């Protein structure tokens, strides 16, 4: 319990001359300061002066205001905020892993290399693809790696390809990735069911026509480097024509990139390699239960077909098996394969965020293949339970079957002038982290809910109850929702001023 709710900045707690640590007098000759004058700090006034207990209390208090998976449900759609099993942490903390150095000789870190190799094999099996790099540090880094592989492939084949097709329901990072890799982005229309449309789509309100896949391919055929698709898409809908989409792109010599952000809905059930995907990333910090920040960085491994393998970032871990006698246990040695002349180069220092790879492999082994599949099915059941319970209470703008997440909006509540932001803020008062809001942008006022498989039925029921109470309040007391949150240490933030006139750091008065 916080007895004092307000907490000033550490700079505001500062009193000149106060010290937290009394250093002994220097009793050796000072080293010669060789820094150029302009790099030397002349005054330390800008650093706060506080005692040790003040520093500890300050940061402890701030940490108590934080909200994470360990405090409650975090149904942030598209982000897959699932439980980070403590076993992952225990294994990652084993001294053989935690104390090893990335520049250690191969012979001294055979276990680490074996771990990397084993995870590569698991991800090949899960994605149905031929090769894997574990280097990229997160989803968007994986996307860029994947699109650079597509680019390297076309260049190596002497083809000039300048366009990437991206459905209008895609993650915002997809067009940014394609542009960063030097491609022009062309939007593909979505149909009324929320999936990629082959036919042109006419907006009923404006009469504007947006081109579907068939006419875009006819128009641009040999300019198309590839298509980036998120499957299931940002509405949680499986692209049920994915095999036809891949075939249409392949027929004109393009490749298909899959954003695997929503892989939590597919692991153990469907393999992207089997439905025609050429290259994809997976977010280990979503699907494989490694932490989203706080406990460490992310990881976005990329899997690809045999045709793209030569271009993967280097090095890759390979395994050599010594021939041995009948009935003996085979002897494996692992090594870094740097001899990859067509590689796009490195995309991360050393070999990626190794600590995350340990946690991901722990997750795989602790579940086993059947357990990973069960987790997927439970994630889908949980999202559909919420969908069923809240249908009619909140508006469901697109009614196609959904997988691991569900997108409602504020249409029913808007008639009482209660909007998505108000609903999200009020959830804080009920003790839940709000869902993703105003995304995807194809839905007006979206509330995008992803419970993940981590939640029990009791927790889901508590969330549903909170959402129903809020809908009731929207009818009876809309003003309360406009003021929410009312129980949090800080009330409604002024997001407008924060965006218009951002104060990015403390300045001395």
Stretch that binds another protein, among 199-207, 231-239, 327-335, 476-484 (CB under 8 A): 199-207
Q: With binding defined as CB under 8 A, does residue 504 bind another protein? A: no
Tell me the closest approach of the beta carbon of residue 407 to another protein, in angstroms: 15
Contacts of 164 (CB under 8 A, 6+ apart): 147, 178, 181, 183, 184, 185, 186, 224, 225, 226, 227, 228
Among 438, 466, 482, 488, indicate the residue that binds another protein (CB under 8 A): 438
Of residues 439-478, those binding another protein (CB under 8 A)? 441
Binding of another protein by 208 (CB under 8 A): yes
Angle between helix 420-429 and helix 457-476 axes, rounded to 10 deg: 120
As measured in angstroms, the least distance from the Cβ of 167 to another protein is 17
Please enumerate in sequence order all residues whose Cβ is within 8 A of that of 292, keeping only pairs 6 or more positions apart, or say none: 79, 81, 285, 286, 298
Interface with another protein (CB under 8 A), residue from 21, 499, 503, 504: 499
Which of 16, 29, 158, 207 is in the footprint of another protein by CB under 8 A?
207
Q: Is there binding between residue 42 and another protein (CB under 8 A)?
A: no
496 in contact with another protein (CB under 8 A): yes
Q: Report yes or no: 82 and 325 within 8 Å, Cβ to Cβ.
A: no
Nearer to another protein, 40 or 501 (CB): 501
Q: Is the distance from CB of 113 to CB of 316 less than 8 angstroms?
A: no
- How many Å apart are CA 484 and CA 492, to the nearest integer? 6
Q: Which two tokens stand for residue 168?
A: 């209008």
Among 425, 419, 146, 381, smallest CA distance to 261 is for 146
Q: Which of 34, 43, 206, 321 binds another protein (CB under 8 A)?
A: 206
CA distance 28 to 23: 14
Min dist CB 446 to another protein, Å, is 10
Nearer to another protein, 38 or 500 (CB): 500
**Closest to 279 (Cα-Cα) out of 364, 344, 222, 339:** 344
Give the interface segment with another protein, choosing from 201-209, 221-229, 319-327, 348-356 (CB under 8 A).
201-209
Closer residue to another protein (CB): 187 or 461:
187
Q: Is 421 a binder of another protein (CB under 8 A)? A: yes
Task: Give the nearest distance from C-beta 502 to another protein in angstroms.
Answer: 10
Number of chain positions touching another protein (CB under 8 A): 11
500 binds another protein per the rule CB under 8 A: yes
Structure tokens at 86: 């403590």
Which H helix or E strand runs over 224? strand 224-230
| Identity of the residue, 37 or 504, whose beta carbon is nearer to another protein in the bound complex | 504
User: Strand 255-260 relative to strand 224-230: parallel, antiparallel, unpaired?
Assistant: parallel
Give the residues lining the site for another protein (CB under 8 A): 205-208, 421, 438, 441, 495-496, 499-500
């Amino acid at each position: 319990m916080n007895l004092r709710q307000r907490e000033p900045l550490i700079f505001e707690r500062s009193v000149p001359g106060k010290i937290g640590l009394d250093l002994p007098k220097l009793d050796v000759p000072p080293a010669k300061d060789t820094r150029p004058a302009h790099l030397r700090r002349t005054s330390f006034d800008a650093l706060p002066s506080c005692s040790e207990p003040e520093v500890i209390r300050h940061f402890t208090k701030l940490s108590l205001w934080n909200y994470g998976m360990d405090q409650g449900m975090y149904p942030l759609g598209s982000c897959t905020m699932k439980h980070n099993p403590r076993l992952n942490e225990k294994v990652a903390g084993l001294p053989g892993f935690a104390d090893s150095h990335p520049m250690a000789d191969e012979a001294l870190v055979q276990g680490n290399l074996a771990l990397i190799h084993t995870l590569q094999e698991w991800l090949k099996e899960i994605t149905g693809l031929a090769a894997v790099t574990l280097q990229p540090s997160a989803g968007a880094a994986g996307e860029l790696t994947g699109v650079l592989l597509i680019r390297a492939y076309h260049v190596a084949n002497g083809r000039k390809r300048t366009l990437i097709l991206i459905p209008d329901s895609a993650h915002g990072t997809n067009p940014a990735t394609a542009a960063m890799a030097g491609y022009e982005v062309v939007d593909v229309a979505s149909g009324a069911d929320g999936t990629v449309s082959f036919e042109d789509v006419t907006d009923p309100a404006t009469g504007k026509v947006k081109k579907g896949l068939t006419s875009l391919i006819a128009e641009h055929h040999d300019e198309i480097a590839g298509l980036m698709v998120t499957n299931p898409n940002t509405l949680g809908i499986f692209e049920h024509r994915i095999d036809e989409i891949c075939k249409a792109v392949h027929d004109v010599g393009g490749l298909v990139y899959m954003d695997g952000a929503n892989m939590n809905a597919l692991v153990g059930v469907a393999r992207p390699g089997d439905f025609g995907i050429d290259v994809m990333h997976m977010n280990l910090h979503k699907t494989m239960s490694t932490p989203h920040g706080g406990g460490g960085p992310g990881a976005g491994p990329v899997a690809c077909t045999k045709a793209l393998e030569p271009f993967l970032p280097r090095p890759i871990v390979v395994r050599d098996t010594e021939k041995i006698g009948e009935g003996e246990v085979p002897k494996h040695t692992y090594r870094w394969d740097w001899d990859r002349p067509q590689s796009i180069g490195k995309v991360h220092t050393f070999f990626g965020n190794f600590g995350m790879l340990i946690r991901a492999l722990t997750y795989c082994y602790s579940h086993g293949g059947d357990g990973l599949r069960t987790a997927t099915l439970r994630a889908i059941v949980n999202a559909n339970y919420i969908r069923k319970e809240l249908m009619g209470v909140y508006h469901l703008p697109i009614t196609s079957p959904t997988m691991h997440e569900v997108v409602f909006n504020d249409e029913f509540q808007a008639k009482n002038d209660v909007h998505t932001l108000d609903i999200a803020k009020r959830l804080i008062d009920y003790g839940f982290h709000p869902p993703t809001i105003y995304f995807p942008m194809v839905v007006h006022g979206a509330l995008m809910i992803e419970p993940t498989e981590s939640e029990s039925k009791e927790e889901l029921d508590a969330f549903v109850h909170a959402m129903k109470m809020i809908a009731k309040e929207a009818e009876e007391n809309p003003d309360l929702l406009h003021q929410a949150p009312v129980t949090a240490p800080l009330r409604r933030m002024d997001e407008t001023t924060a965006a218009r006139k951002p104060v990015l750091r403390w300045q001395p008065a």
